[in-house]
Each structure stands twice: as C-alpha cells, then as structure tokens.
Amino acid sequence: MSTGLECRFIEVKPGRWYYLLEDWDSPKGAFDWREYATAYGPFSTEDEAVDHLSDNHANPGGWSRLPYQPGFEPDEVLTSLIDEAGDPAADPWRGA
C-alpha cells in the first residue's frame, strides 16, 4: 500500500542527488507541494537515494525524476529545501 505522497528525485549537479518527499501533514491541493516537503541527501547516485527512501520511509506510490541538465538554476523553494537537508556545500548546484 502506498501513502500517495508526492516524491521527486533531483540531480542538482552531476553526481549530487536529493529527493523531496511531501510531508504527511501537508495541506492537500497546495499550490506548490514542495513548500510542505522535506529534502534528503545528498547522494552520489539516484540508486542510493532510492535505497534511502526505501529504507527510511513508507512507499509514496511513485515519483518523478529530474536528472541534471546544464544551466539548471534552482528556485527559492528548492534552495531552501537543499539548505535544510544539511548540505555541506554552500552552493551545491555549482560545486563546492
């Protein structure tokens, strides 16, 4: 059985993956579900991120994935989530 929570895997730069998982108590129908989510990472590979999700959270029922694309610029919501994930790099999408 799945939770039906939103989940997205995102590679913010080559070899630096995070996943965003909607919080259990998020308001349904929110304009941007990421405003009610938690980020986990960084992980070296998407597979490591998937394993972490599998080992630590209930099945969300599916997810989307965004591999790195040159020129990627995070928005304010993603920047905040990455910062809260405890990323040791001050600017993870450009390198540290």
Q: How far apart are CA 9 and CA 52, in angstroms?
A: 12
Burial class (CB in 10 A: 0-12, 13-18, 19+), 17: buried
Alpha-carbon gap, residue 61 to 71, rounded angstroms: 30
Task: Kindly report whether the peptide bond that precedes residue 42 is cis, defined as omega within 30 degrees of 0.
Answer: yes
Task: Tell me what percent of the residues of the chain surpass a pLDDT of 70.
Answer: 89
**Domain locations along the chain:** 7-84
The number of beta carbons lying within 10 Å of the beta carbon of residue 51 is 12
Tens digits of per-residue pLDDT, 18-48? 999 999 899 887 889 999 999 999 999 999 9
Residue 55 has pLDDT above 80, yes or no: yes
For tokens 């630590």, what's the residue? Answer: 56
Banded pLDDT at 89 (limits 50, 70, 90): very low
74/82 Cα distance (integer angstroms): 10
Backbone conformation region of residue 4, classed left if phi is above 0, alpha if psi is from -120 to 50, else beta: left
